[in-house]
Amino acid sequence: MRYRERPVGAPLDVFVECVWFLSTSCGEGLESREQTILPDGCIEAIFHLGERFLGRQEAAAIFRSQPTAFVAGMLTRPLRVDAVAGADSVGIRFRPGGASAFFDGPLAQLTDRVTPLDDLWGDAARELESRLHESAADADRAAFVESALRARLRRANTERRIDAAVHDLIRSAGCMSIARVASRAGVTTRHLQRRFTASVGVGPKTLARILRFQNTLRVRANGGDGDWLRVAIDCGYTDQSHLIHDYAAFAGDTPAGLLAAESELSAYFTAPQRLAALFGARR
């Protein structure tokens, strides 16, 4: 399995973390076909240009083929993916709250769902998919993606107060109280809840929980050494049982169990350098 990332240029970098590429050779023997994707606060658009992965939410009984081009909405529970040989995929990872600059309608409608991209972008989705088939070079494909995103970028559609609230949560790794986040944004907590859910895909409390969970992965990678009580305290949990509850919700496993069974694909998305960049992000 070969995974690569490329950053995007300004002004897209305000809203988009990266364009990523994933390929598996036809004769490749994968260590484990079933891969676990963990909630990270991001929405992604994905194009399967080769063999399509199979996916299922935690509650689903069977794997189903993913569309050739789709949006993976914000996850609030783990997504199981059945990796296949012969994959050739391109993904766009939007920053938390960043997808609202490219999609109409409330993003909560996409949460925990796989939605065909042409349902959202129409002909533009089919045109981009066709362009991505024109070249196998990462640089060319990244250029096609950037061109399509620039054509759809609408800064006026973003809400600066919600944007500020998202980044308060990111900077605090989910530890700032929602009341303080709302106060700093100059809105009531009720208004924040309503507009945040529409613009981000989940409410502020849920995003805070996801960010705290992701921060435990960063702390663990930087010398947590299995001391989950210390990790819990360092990441703002009231106690270890609170942390274990979030691992059950977002990973479907215990902290130790997740560490032992971490899949290759998930490890790319939870790499220490990626999480360090996420929590150091600024707009």
Model pLDDT for residues 229-283, shown as the tens digit of each residue: 999 999 999 999 999 999 999 999 998 888 777 777 777 888 888 888 888 753 4
Mean per-residue pLDDT of the chain:
89
Contact 49, 21 (CB under 8 A): no
Predicted confidence band of residue 68 (pLDDT cuts 50, 70, 90): very high
Model pLDDT, residue 202: 97
Q: Which two tokens stand for residue 185?
A: 């944004």
| Mean pLDDT confidence for 54-82 | 83
Would strands 44-48 and 69-72 be described as parallel, antiparallel, or unpaired? antiparallel
Would strands 44-48 and 64-65 be described as parallel, antiparallel, or unpaired? unpaired
Cα 55–Cα 56–Cα 60 angle in degrees, nearest 5: 160
Amino acid at the residue 90: V
pTM: 0.91
Model pLDDT, residue 81: 86
Say which range, 10-19, 53-62, 232-241, 272-281, has the weakest mean pLDDT. Answer: 53-62
Model pLDDT, residue 54: 80
* Residues above pLDDT 90, as percent of the chain: 66
Model pLDDT, residue 100: 94
Per-residue model confidence as pLDDT tens digits over 148-174: 999 999 865 568 899 999 999 999 999
Task: Please check the confidence at residue 61 and state whether its pLDDT lies above 70.
Answer: no
Tell me how far apart the alpha carbons of residues 95 and 105 are, in angstroms, rounded to a whole number: 18
Model pLDDT, residue 237: 95
Per-residue model confidence as pLDDT tens digits over 212-232: 999 999 888 776 566 889 999
- HSE of 68, CA atoms in CB hemisphere, 13 A: 12
Q: Which two tokens stand for residue 69?
A: 């081009």
| Mean pLDDT confidence for 51-60 | 73
Model pLDDT, residue 283: 42
Strand ranges of the sheet holding 114-116, from the earlier edge strand across to the other edge? 2-6, 16-23, 88-94, 44-48, 69-72, 114-116
Per-residue model confidence as pLDDT tens digits over 117-132: 999 999 999 999 999 9
Residue whose structure tokens are 């409390």: 205
Predicted confidence band of residue 184 (pLDDT cuts 50, 70, 90): very high
Which residue ranges form the domains of the chain, and what is each CATH number? 2-155 (2.60.120.10), 160-279 (1.10.10.60)
Please give the DSSP secondary-structure letter assigned to residue 82.
Answer: E
Model pLDDT, residue 28: 55
Predicted confidence band of residue 58 (pLDDT cuts 50, 70, 90): low
* Residues above pLDDT 70, as percent of the chain: 91
Predicted confidence band of residue 10 (pLDDT cuts 50, 70, 90): very high
Model pLDDT, residue 95: 95
